[in-house]
Amino acid sequence: MALEKVKGLFPEVEVDRCFVSAVLCGSATAILVSRWVSQRRVQKKLEDAKRRRELGFQRMEKAARQFKQQNPGIKSAPILSLPLVELTAKLRDGTLSPESVLYIYIEKALEVTRQINCVTDFLPECEEQLREVKKQEKGLLYGVPVSIKENIACKGHPTTMGLVKYLDCSEPEDSVLVKVLKKQGAIPFVRTNTSQGILNIDCSNTLFGQTLNPFNHKKTSGGSSGGEAALVGGGGSVIGLGTDVAASIRVPCGFCGICGFKPTGYRLSVKGTTSPIEGMNSVINVTGPLARDMDSLVLCMKALLCDELFRLDLAVPPLPFNDEIYSSSRPLKIGYYDGDGYFQPSPSMRRAVQETRKLLQEAGHTLIPFTPPRINYLVDELFTKGISADGCSTLVEKFDGEFVDATWTNQLRCCKMPVLLKRLLALILMPVFPRISRHLNALTGVGSVKNLWKNDSDRMAYRDEFIAEWRKLKLDVVLCPALGPAFNLGYAGKLFVATTYTHLYNVLNFPAGVVPVTTVSETDEEELRHYKGHYGDPWDKRMKEAVQDAVGLPVAVQCVALPWQEELCLRFMKEVETLSRERRGRRKI
């Protein structure tokens, strides 16, 4: 009775099944057409960007060719072989002209990028900047061509992070550090490739393609500052500027055999740099220099830590470079470790630390074993959960409407999983693959603002715990592995989690840098055959496969100091470089 009354409230409607089918088919067709149109629009933007890029390369080639025709007596090799300190000295005293240096580096950068695809675009305004530097007082980097990572703002150019959606968003002004470089007489002349969306240790995207390692084209340059590292490592730039949020300077520098430095957050300005997760402070994004040698890195840091920097960005503490600390020769008390217990280092990573430890001891320094506390907690609860605090939603949004690069598919698949599915898989995998289980659980994020504050509080408590261990041993600095050697193509995007050796110091906000000290030997390759890893899970298997066939490739170590002690860290890095070069020299004799 009641049911009949309810039915009576609604009129009987004869439903035309053909009509309903037509509507459904029409809707489905409209959705498919809309997606096709959207994808076609993205494809057209990609094609237009590639055409503009090629025109820029042609302009580079024409400018370099014209200069050589007008100046046939200038030889490239002597200029390209000069370290930054010698190059600046010759530019300042007039032995070399800024024109000759700029156009020779333009030619070399074009040659290198044709081989390994590291330059995203030519900065044609460098020719105007060349005229400007002659009118201003000669700064520390007078007349030096400088390369800039693509996510660091250069006026009139988009900072895309390899994402099509930002192609039309040209920057209204230079980033603070680009302004400071220009004030010091430097000439930014090219921008360099990065991983799509930045948070990845490969260097590939759908806009600019894959950057290759300058020493082995079957290997990646690393990322995300891989274009910078590859260009500098390949000889196409004498100094470059990159960013680092987990490993993005140190991993590619280690892979490409150059020096790279990540200062304490806010020692250098980040104004004008683009990050995939704006506002995230769980892991601090920083800017830093990349160079072929330590003297070049130090000169760049001296040039950047100037009054112009402190004037342009009041968030940067006015701490000029302290030469007294850097120039000190007192013996150091050095903590060291050759494994963190989370990812087993490759044989060459471990050997690099042990050989460097021995050299430092022989040079009169004190070496003390040091163990980072609670590394699993640091990786899962502080780093991964910190950068994924929103369940990865901000990062995933960056890829909306984009063609996803192959280096990102594995990482993005995990990020996109619904929270419930992540938790369910984590529960299922816990008995067999506990490390992967913990990672999936961390990708669910923190869940609430209250939990985010707790995560921040936990991070600071861990930092205090770490510093207490450091001070208990009365350490000055720490020596530890740098990820390496360079990964085979196709692996880096699946092993972002292998950055534990580097991202530890982003969470702690300690200054850290890498210095190449050795190369992979036949013995290392043989030992790798017995590599098992700590967990025997798919990540360990991938790690072994990633670093295979690397004989002759560079291997670096990582040098670390306490916050705001950049000069001490750089001094330590210089000591490591000097000792390792002396050892290589003795071996040649």
Residues marked as catalytic: 149, 224, 248
Residues 380 and 499: their CA atoms lie apart, in Å, by 12
Provide the total of helices (H) and of strands (E) in the chain, helices listed first: 24, 13
CB 42 within 8 A of CB 401: yes
3-class secondary-structure state, position 439:
helix
Handedness of CA 12, 18, 24, 26 (dihedral sign): negative
Which phi and psi angles does 381 have, rounded to 5°?
-85, -30
Convert 154-188 to b/e letters by CB count within 10 Å (16 or more is b): beebbbbbbbbbbbeeebeebbbbbbbbbbbbbbb
A 10 A CB-CB count for 310 gives 16
Handedness of CA 119, 125, 129, 130 (dihedral sign): positive
What single letter denotes the amino acid at residue 371? T
Residues 356 and 312: their CA atoms lie apart, in Å, by 40
Residues 464 and 341: their CA atoms lie apart, in Å, by 21
554, β-bridge pairs: 519
Residues 269 and 50: their CA atoms lie apart, in Å, by 31
* Measured CA angle at 176 (ends 170, 178), to 5 deg: 75
Handedness of CA 114, 178, 84, 97 (dihedral sign): positive
583 CB-near residues (< 8 Å, 6+ apart): 355, 359
Question: Which tokens go with 41?
Answer: 């629009």
Residues 482 and 560: their CA atoms lie apart, in Å, by 11
CB 164 within 8 A of CB 403: yes
Handedness of CA 294, 298, 303, 305 (dihedral sign): positive
Alpha helices in 305-392 (DSSP H): 307-312, 323-327, 347-362, 375-377, 385-387
Residues 165 and 156: their CA atoms lie apart, in Å, by 16
Cα-only R_g, the chain:
26
Beta strands in 19-82 (DSSP E): none
Residues 16 and 183: their CA atoms lie apart, in Å, by 75
